[in-house]
Amino acid sequence: MEEEHIEQTPPPRTRYRLYKYLTVALFFIVIFFSLGLVGVETTSSSEFCSSCHEMKPEFYTWKASTHSEVDCVNCHIGSGAEEYTNAKANGLLQVYKKTTQTYTAPIQMPKEIPDEACEKCHNMNLREVTPSGDLIIPHDKHMEKDVECIQCHSGVAHGKIAERKVTFKSDYDKWDTSLGKSMMSEKKFTSPKMEECMDCHKARNVTTECSACHTSSMYPKSHTKEDFKLNSHGLLAKDDVQECNDCHKYMSTKEITLFNDQPAYTQYLRDQKIQNKQVSSKDYAKENTFCKDCHTQRPKSHEKGFVKKHGTAANKNEEACLTCHDLQKNGQNEISNITCNSCHPSSHENKDWRKTHPIKVAEGVKVSETCYLCHNEQKCQSCHKED
């Protein structure tokens, strides 16, 4: 006789316990994944990056950059699941290094930002003109020549602070929004340098003509005025010679070193009083060879017979004379081989001239009629103004 199989069901109390365990397990599973999702989202935010003491320089410079609306992960983590997983694993490794104080300072990027990260937002095939409106940058042609975005735009988000050596452990407490803005305010660290463009073009045998990269003639409005060359350019240079240098440094065959001073951010980090080096337009004209090309030419005002009346002209505008002629140079001037001392070898420049003077002259005594008993009045008056 065939044995009948009878399916037995668990008693009600057992079924209740089973449902209870399944419900609790499901609850913990939901909580686990919810916390995981929240954790992933939290650790992917730029603010989370700033919670690490060592990342404060990177965070505050990013916040002051043109990419402040783009989260760190968009550039530093690839779009693939494998890269995302590796990034999170690397994050745990960095936490360990932070805890054990075995990390390297200053922090450097483990790898360069790939072009794919930039192309998430920027269409390289349509990107030809920069925001300034003057530059012509055909990005597609650069890509064809394997020029990577990072080669030109390495400072766009952080201003090359690692290379500037301002991210060491001793500096972290000083980083804030103000310092971040200061670091990102210097275009030479955030924008492509013209020197890099020129060097790359030369290395690849590409034209370096201005019209190849610039849509305009590059002349500021002030430079188009009729009196600019002979009258106003010196006054403009006196007001802000560093602005002149932004363009004219490329026209000099000699490197301009006058502005090579300790930058403000370095002074700040060293708890020093911030002092900006003042460069005079006259000193600049003597170092920039582009300026020398004009300043070594004899001015139209220096016509025949000018020597006899140059003293009067000097009294009217001595500063204009000193642009080319220098009072304190020995031998030759940086621009002109003619100095005041080359024609006026007066012992007045000697601090001890009173000791050799035939008649005792007290300190502070000014030119008077007594002087003209021996000295030529006309010659003296070319320099000494009447009281």
As for how many domains the chain has, the answer is 3
Do residue 282 and residue 303 come from a single domain?
Answer: no
* pLDDT, average across residues 332-355: 61
Give the per-residue pLDDT at 134. 77
Highest mean pLDDT among 221-225, 292-296, 370-374: 221-225
Do residue 83 and residue 217 come from a single domain?
Answer: yes
What is the chain's mean pLDDT, rounded?
A: 75
Domain that holds residue 338: 296-381
Q: Is 14 part of a structural domain of the chain?
A: no
- Residue 83 in contact with residue 208, Cβ under 8 Å? no
Query: Residues 166-175: pLDDT tens digits?
Result: 877 667 778 8
Band of residue 330 on the pLDDT scale cut at 50, 70, 90? very low
* pLDDT, average across residues 280-294: 85
Give the per-residue pLDDT at 61. 92
Q: Which carries the bigger pLDDT value, residue 40 or residue 19?
A: 19
Q: Which of 295, 325, 359 is at the close of a domain?
A: 295
Give the per-residue pLDDT at 332. 43
Do residue 289 and residue 339 come from a single domain?
Answer: no
Band of residue 36 on the pLDDT scale cut at 50, 70, 90? very low
CA distances from 246 to 23, 125, 169, 243, 285 (A): 71, 30, 34, 5, 14
* pLDDT, average across residues 188-214: 85
Residue keyed to tokens 């990419």: 67
d(CA 320, CA 326): 11
Do residue 187 and residue 282 come from a single domain?
Answer: no
Give the per-residue pLDDT at 105. 63
Judged against a pLDDT cut of 70, whether residue 344 lies above it is answered with no
Burial 156-189 (b: 16+ CB within 10 A, else e): bbbbbbbebebbeeebeebbeeebbebbbebeeb
Do residue 300 and residue 313 come from a single domain?
Answer: yes
Q: Is 258 part of a structural domain of the chain?
A: yes
Q: Is 180 part of a structural domain of the chain?
A: yes
Percent pLDDT > 90 in the chain is 5
Give the per-residue pLDDT at 92. 64
Do residue 335 and residue 289 come from a single domain?
Answer: no
Q: Which carries the bigger pLDDT value, residue 370 or residue 32?
A: 370
Give the per-residue pLDDT at 217. 65
Q: Which carries the bigger pLDDT value, residue 34 or residue 188?
A: 188
Q: Which of 187, 221, 255 is at the close of a domain?
A: 221
Do residue 208 and residue 263 come from a single domain?
Answer: no
Do residue 187 and residue 51 come from a single domain?
Answer: yes
Do residue 176 and residue 72 come from a single domain?
Answer: yes
- Residue 92 in contact with residue 182, Cβ under 8 Å? no
Tell which residue, 137, 108, 140, has the closest CA to residue 124. Answer: 140
Query: Residues 117-155: pLDDT tens digits?
Result: 888 888 888 776 666 667 888 888 898 888 999 888 989
Q: Is 35 part of a structural domain of the chain?
A: no
Least confident of 21-25, 158-162, 240-244, 306-310: 21-25
Tell which residue, 387, 362, 361, 355, has the closest CA to residue 374. Answer: 361
Tell which residue, 259, 65, 242, 268, has the closest CA to residue 171. Answer: 268
Give the per-residue pLDDT at 94. 66
Do residue 52 and residue 200 come from a single domain?
Answer: yes
Do residue 357 and residue 314 come from a single domain?
Answer: yes
